[in-house]
Amino acid sequence: KNEVEQSPQNLTAQEGEFITINCSYSVGISALHWLQQHPGGGIVSLFMLSSGKKKHGRLIATINIQEKHSSLHITASHPRDSAVYICAVRTYLRHTGNQFYFGTGTSLTVIP
């Protein structure tokens, strides 16, 4: 069972390109999270969304609750954006409580 699906699994881009990573989920959620994991393993939270759109610098995250889909966009990509990007959903259902489910991640490499 895959509650969260991400695409693509791997992505290589030239510096300056516009990048989109997609996430679809199949469970009821209270929030969707985008995480970033750099080589070396540390995980950082980029966004938490329950509706609409959020923007931090060159990163934009959107969510469509009806379609159960979210996208993470990176504008003017830079080699320092090279990392694994992980989509996660927090459920809030009576039988699952506050459980998290994760996509398997998108490995992004930005070439100078």
Partner 1 sequence: EAQVTQNPRYLITVTGKKLTVTCSQNMNHEYMSWYRQDPGLGLRQIYYSMNVEVTDKGDVPEGYKVSRKEKRNFPLILESPSPNQTSLYFCASSSRLAGGTYNEQFFGPGTRLTVL
Q: Does the protein bind partner 1 through residue 48 (CB under 8 A)? A: yes
Task: Pick between residue 41 and residue 112 the one whose CB is nearest to partner 1.
Answer: 41
Which has the closest alpha carbon to 25: 7, 38, 6?
A: 6
Considering only the stretches 14-22, 47-55, 64-72, 74-82, report the one whose residues sit in contact with partner 1 under the rule CB under 8 A. 47-55
Q: List the interface residues with partner 1, window 51-80 (CB under 8 A).
A: none
In the list 60, 62, 69, 92, the residue contacting partner 1 (rule: CB under 8 A) is: 92
Compute φ and ψ for 75, nearest 5 degrees.
-95, 150
CA 95 – CA 50 distance, rounded (Å): 20
Q: Does the protein bind partner 1 through residue 7 (CB under 8 A)? A: no
Residue 93 to residues 13, 68, 86, 100, 101, Cα–Cα distance (Å): 38, 16, 22, 11, 13
In the list 43, 76, 93, 111, the residue contacting partner 1 (rule: CB under 8 A) is: 43
Q: Does the protein bind partner 1 through residue 31 (CB under 8 A)? A: yes
Binding site for partner 1 (CB under 8 A): 30-31, 33, 35, 41-45, 47-48, 50, 86, 88, 90, 92, 97-105
